Amino acid sequence: MSGTRNQCAMPTHIPNYGPIEPFMGAHKAAEGSAKLFASLDAALDALGAHSGMTVSFHHHFREGDLIVNMVLEALARRGLRDLSLAPSSLSSVHAPLIDFIKDGTIRRIRTSGLRGPLADAISAGLMDEPILIQSHGGRARAIDGGELVIDLAVLGVPSCDERGNASGAFGRSACGSLGYAMVDARNAKKVLLLSEEIVPYPLAPASIRQDYVDAIVAIDSVGDPSGIGKGATRMTRDPRELLIAGNAAAAISAAGVIRQGFSLQTGSGGASLAVVRFLREMMVERGVKASFALGGITSQLVRLLEEGLVGALFDVQSFDLDAARSLASNPGHREMDASYYANPGLKGCAVDALDVVVLSAMEVDLELNVNVITGSDGVIRGASGGHCDTAAGAALTVVVAPLLRGRLPSVVDRVTTIVTPGESVDLLVTDRGIAVNPRRPELAESLRGAGLPVRDIDWLKRLAESYTGIPRPLEFDDRAIALVEYRDGTIIDLIRRPKGLSR
Amino acid sequence: MEIVREDSAGTAESGDARVTVRPNPNGGLALELRGPSCERYGQDIRLVALSTLAALGVADAMVSVEEKGALDATIQARLAAACGRAAGVGSPPWEALL
């Protein structure tokens, strides 16, 4: 319907109100299909991709991701330079980015994690600017808070409709939650979806909404399903990991956490995952149910939900295909975005409501600082993830680690890199004893009362070194290759270049 | 102990070491060390290997140690077993390591 009344009669200024825009005809948005572009290049043309822009991606396809490499190749082909890359994380499959750093396409990177050849090359000084390591909550804080302005978010999705409603829960490359991508979608200046399937309108429930999406390109494959997720995260059978998990569950019990309506999060490492199994046994035995579980969701947590042992799962990232399937079918399995999960800059986030979190560690030092980012050779090979976010939020933070990994002690004088400060860690549970943060004497008392092997952290360090000898200190040169950001935006540590890698 | 052929002991499993011993045509000891602990413990492992070879009476050999986080006792045991096999003496003189 169109047609205009006599606009000449409409004043452009109304007394006691101010200036107004007179009506000029019914507003009609473009056809729904106008967002669909035939090719990535056509969409990049329309979206005004330019040199120096900040491009973001999500890592929900994990080691199966095809999007980041594909898009960077397209941007490099267009001759763009000095791009800032702001993916929620990077992994071993992103080795091809090395060439795009060398040729000047990429100038700056911020990410939660980095592994494989790209991590090795950056550790050796590939980039002029140090990269920024952010936690999942810290990244959400930077984006929602306007500090990190994303010019273009390129978000791979398993399925969406032609108006841009997208979900990770359906489709042959289903990855489950799109929790990290949701923050990018609602803040980026331009949002481009790369989707494997275009389904009839309306796709619902949508994780990414049509009102945020500028353009859509259908592509053959967003990811390699074998790298996206395993059928189910396998429970460890390593006796040492099971011993650590059993000790951790016993400590959580002794701390009085396992009561009606408690809440929990467990990391994805072997021992921390196995804790779920021991907690489950205790819950069944005592008739206790948990109110919610958070974070990266695995098949073990899905089982708790389906058995009625936990009221709800809040899923920022589905770690296996069981979790993705459950997100699509279980009403109690809810998707949450990274800000709801862990952003410390808004008015509350879910990690603050956690009673207990169980986290892995590569190294823990005498102050209980935790390193999950650099290996024993000082090279980056890990991810900050939600480590410092959950440690800060949870009432009880339990770090699990074997005393030795091969010949390398996990308990050291000073961690190579601090990701999580020791003041937010309550317990370190190893296969040879449990160290309690000295700020929590009442916790040490409860654990001793339950007959658990409470040890001085210094004693654990000396025990480890009695087997291994004292490690030769790592040497670094002055070149900063990465800054490690704490969740509030402050810099908690610098990663320097290991001396052996200097040229 | 005289090394007469190439032989090896150990595995590539975590916590173990794979040790290969061969005759050294140039005489003397040539020790090659590789593995994830070398950055922090290379010197310690080298010392343990050399003292073990000395205790076994092996003076001429090319020795390669590919460690996967092995502790000293494992390095010693794999080295002794590999030398025993490469010297064709079957069971190595374990008492030399005591």
Q: What is the pLDDT of residues A125-136, one digit of tens each?
A: 999 999 999 999
Domain range list for chain B: 7-87
pLDDT band, very low/low/confident/very high, at B92 (cuts 50, 70, 90): confident
Q: Do B36 and A500 touch (CB under 8 A)?
A: no
Q: Do A408 and B72 touch (CB under 8 A)?
A: no
Question: A-B interface: how many C-beta pairs under 8 angstroms?
Answer: 43
CATH architecture of the region B7-87: 2-Layer Sandwich (3.30)
Task: Let me know: does B29 contact B65? Beta carbons within 8 Å.
Answer: no
Q: Do A406 and B14 touch (CB under 8 A)?
A: yes
Q: Is B77 helix (H, G, I), strand (E, B) or coil?
A: helix
Q: Which residues of B touch A377 (CB under 8 A)?
A: 36, 39-40
B15 near A CB under 8 A:
yes
Mind telling me how many Å the CA of A404 is from chain B's nearest CA?
9
Query: pLDDT for A269-288, tens place per residue?
Result: 888 889 999 999 999 999 99
Residue A502, pLDDT score: 66
Q: What is the mean pLDDT of chain A?
A: 95
pLDDT band, very low/low/confident/very high, at A3 (cuts 50, 70, 90): very low
pLDDT band, very low/low/confident/very high, at A1 (cuts 50, 70, 90): very low
Q: Is A319 helix (H, G, I), strand (E, B) or coil?
A: coil
Domain range list for chain A: 32-228, 239-474
Contacts of A141 (CB under 8 A, 6+ apart): A147, A339, A343, A344, A345, A346, A487, A488, A489
Domain A32-228 sits in which CATH superfamily?
Answer: Glutaconate Coenzyme A-transferase (3.40.1080.10)
- CB-nearest partner of A376 from B39, B43, B44: B39
Residue type at A118?
A: L
Residue A2, pLDDT score: 45
Check whether A251 has a pLDDT greater than 80.
Answer: yes
Task: Let me know: does A132 contact A110? Beta carbons within 8 Å.
Answer: yes
Q: Where are the alpha helices (DSSP H) in B12-71?
A: 38-56
Query: pLDDT for A438-461, tens place per residue?
Result: 999 999 999 999 999 999 999 999
For residue A362, give both structure tokens.
Answer: 């590569």
Radius of gyration of chain A (CA): 25
Residue type at A41?
A: D
For residue A356, give both structure tokens.
Answer: 């207990």
Classify residue A207 as left (phi > 0), alpha (psi -120 to 50) or beta: alpha
- CB-nearest partner of B69 from A407, A472, A500: A407
Q: Is A115 helix (H, G, I), strand (E, B) or coil?
A: coil
The rounded distance, in Å, linking the Cα atoms of A385 and A387 is: 5
Query: pLDDT for A452-500, tens place per residue?
Result: 999 999 999 999 999 999 999 999 999 999 999 999 999 999 999 999 7
Q: Do domains A32-228 and A239-474 have the same CATH topology?
A: yes
Task: Let me know: does A183 contact A208? Beta carbons within 8 Å.
Answer: no
For residues B25-34, give the mean pLDDT: 96
Mind telling me how many Å the CA of A123 is from chain B's nearest CA?
15
pLDDT band, very low/low/confident/very high, at A224 (cuts 50, 70, 90): confident
Q: Do A471 and B41 touch (CB under 8 A)?
A: yes
pLDDT band, very low/low/confident/very high, at A8 (cuts 50, 70, 90): low
pLDDT band, very low/low/confident/very high, at A235 (cuts 50, 70, 90): confident
The rounded distance, in Å, linking the Cα atoms of A150 and A169 is: 25
B13 near A CB under 8 A:
no
Check whether A24 has a pLDDT greater than 70.
Answer: yes
Q: Where are the alpha helices (DSSP H) in A78-191?
A: 97-102, 116-123, 136-144, 179-187
Q: For an interface test with A, which of B13, B34, B38, B41 has the most A Cβ atoms less than 10 Å from its Cβ?
A: B41
Q: For an interface test with B, which of A407, A466, A467, A499 has the most B Cβ atoms less than 10 Å from its Cβ?
A: A407
Mean pLDDT lowest for which of A29-43, A68-82, A149-163, A203-217? Answer: A29-43
Q: Is A55 helix (H, G, I), strand (E, B) or coil?
A: strand
**In this prediction, what percent of chain A has a pLDDT beyond 90?**
89
Residue B94, pLDDT score: 83
Residue A231, pLDDT score: 67
Check whether A297 has a pLDDT greater than 50.
Answer: yes
Q: Burial-class residue A389 by CB neighbours within 10 Å (0-12, 13-18, 19+).
A: buried
Residue A258, pLDDT score: 97
DSSP symbols for A132-160 = EE--HHHHHHHHHTTSS--SEEEEEEEEE
For residue A398, give both structure tokens.
Answer: 């339990």
Contacts of B73 (CB under 8 A, 6+ apart): none
The rounded distance, in Å, linking the Cα atoms of A236 and A431 is: 15
For residues A326-347, give the mean pLDDT: 97
Class of domain A239-474 as given by CATH: alpha beta
Q: Do B41 and A407 touch (CB under 8 A)?
A: yes
Write the CA distances from A354 to A173, A349, A389, B20, integer angstroms. Answer: 31, 10, 11, 52
For residues A351-376, give the mean pLDDT: 97
* A158 CB-side CA count, 13 A: 22
